Amino acid sequence: MVQHSILETLSEPLRKEVLSSLQPLHFEHGRILFRAGDPCQGLPLVLNGTVKVQMTGLSGHSIVLYRMGADDICTLSIGCLMTGDGFRAEAVVEEDAEVFMVPRGLFDRLMDQSADFRLGVMESYGRRLNDLMLLVEEVAFRRMDERLAHWLETRAVEGSIRITHQELAVELGTAREVVSRLLKELERQGKLRLSRGCISFVQ
């Protein structure tokens, strides 16, 4: 049976009750789990696959806030469930995913009845908040050419990356034109080669 580690924090009777009430939901690549402005219906627990959470500003530019893989919890949903506010970002399935959706009423009951569940949720929230603070620091205080170079360096061992300039712009929270200009300069310097939808690293 596919399970999620946060459910392992529950007592045996409570875990059995929860698992009997939840069914894995399958979402295909490209599916929108929620959009900015939507009310939060529950807490998504990712069992497998990948879900990308991104925000779009008034300028129309988007930035990836974080990704959820197997065994992850949606931090944005935790905040929305606790405050009652709607989402301020959207979640898009990158790789076909299975998800447990814990309804709001059940989430509230588990938070109230299980100290270990509550601690696990808050620890996950704290870790993701720290990651988001690092992202804010990157966006606010590092030049775009430095951020692009760092992003590429962390992936250079792969030899090449299948990604469009627009997708890379979303990763970095900037305009496609900016990314294209910086990539062309790196290509001119002989550090990489560009082809349609692909960046190859020169060793």
Is there a contact between 55 and 40 (Cβ–Cβ < 8 Å)?
Answer: no
Is there a contact between 55 and 88 (Cβ–Cβ < 8 Å)?
Answer: yes
Mean pLDDT of 20-35: 94
CATH 1.10.10.10 holds for 143-201: yes
Closest CA to 53 of 41, 43, 62, 61: 62
Closest CA to 89 of 47, 40, 123, 44: 40
Topology at the third CATH level for domain 5-140? Jelly Rolls (2.60.120)
Pull the structure tokens for residue 29.
């690549």
Is there a contact between 166 and 61 (Cβ–Cβ < 8 Å)?
Answer: no
77 Cβ contact partners less than 8 Å away, ≥ 6 residues apart: 40, 42, 43, 44, 87
Give CATH 1.10.10.10 domain extents, the chain: 143-201
* Residues 48-96: tens digit of each pLDDT: 999 999 998 877 888 999 999 998 999 999 999 999 999 999 999 999 9
pTM attached to this predicted model: 0.79
Give CATH 2.60.120.10 domain extents, the chain: 5-140
pLDDT band, residue 122 (cuts 50/70/90):
very high
Q: How much is the pLDDT for 77?
A: 95
Q: Is residue 1 scored above 70 in pLDDT?
A: no
